[in-house]
Amino acid sequence: MAGLFNEQTDARLPIDDAHLELFEDFDCGVDANVLMNRLIDKVDWREESITLFGKTHLQPRLFAWYGDEQASYQYSGLALEPLAWIDELSDIKRRVSEHCGAEFNSVLLNYYRNHRDSMGMHSDDEKELGREPIIASLSFGATRVFKLKHKRRIDLKPLRIPLSNSTLLVMRGKTQQYWKHGIDKLSAPCGPRLNLTFRQIV
């Protein structure tokens, strides 16, 4: 397990105050497009509203939370109880976990239906994730840009990492402490995208 990770340290991106690794063409064991369509059909997607600055909106994407029974999570002001693993998700979890040399007990899925869906800048720093969480983010479908912005250092420019079909991005160490990330809307139409972030709730 750890051997694989050590052999691929060239995947680490040279970013101050962060530990990010990028792996293109991650092997999911099945065709990525088939898997994506299966997940779009099978996953029990939720559309929720969130209240920000006193105004209530529908979140601009669908999401779902799967995990071990004890893995409840406070996310965007919602208390999430995990749905039971389905075969497709437990199989990808095993592959991602072996690749990263880390355990995961849950996955947050986000479904960006088209170019208008997005995710605001945030860091995954909820206390249930522990101090230096390892978060493994696997993308399928349309390429969207993962934007990163340092929380304090204005000398560091925001970064834009395109995440294409079957790309695995692993965030470790102090990444969540120092950086925010998000996915902007696009002006030009694009196809659907799925993102799965595997997490360990402690």
Ligand X SMILES: O=C(O)CCC(=O)C(=O)O
Give the binding site for Mn ion (CB under 5 A): 124
Distance CA 171, CA 159 (A): 14
Report CA torsion sign: 128, 125, 177, 28. positive
Alpha helices by DSSP H, 2-132: 2-7, 32-42, 87-100
What are the residues binding ligand X (CB under 6 A)? 108, 110, 119, 124, 137, 139, 146, 163, 181, 183, 195, 197
- Nearer of residues 91 and 124 to Mn ion, judged by Cβ: 124
Distance CA 143, CA 109 (A): 16
Q: List the beta bridge partners of residue 20.
A: 171
Residue 94 and residue 167 in contact, taking contact as beta carbons nearer than 8 Å: no
Q: How far is the CB of 105 from Mn ion (least distance, A)?
A: 17
Q: How far is the CB of 182 from ligand X (least distance, A)?
A: 7
Q: How far is the CB of 149 from ligand X (least distance, A)?
A: 13
Distance CA 5, CA 175 (A): 18
- Nearer of residues 52 and 84 to Mn ion, judged by Cβ: 52
> Which does residue 32 bind out of Mn ion, ligand X, none, counting CB within 5 to 8 angstroms by kind?
none
Q: How far is the CB of 75 from Mn ion (least distance, A)?
A: 9
> Which does residue 176 bind out of Mn ion, ligand X, none, counting CB within 5 to 8 angstroms by kind?
none
> Which does residue 48 bind out of ligand X, Mn ion, none, counting CB within 5 to 8 angstroms by kind?
none
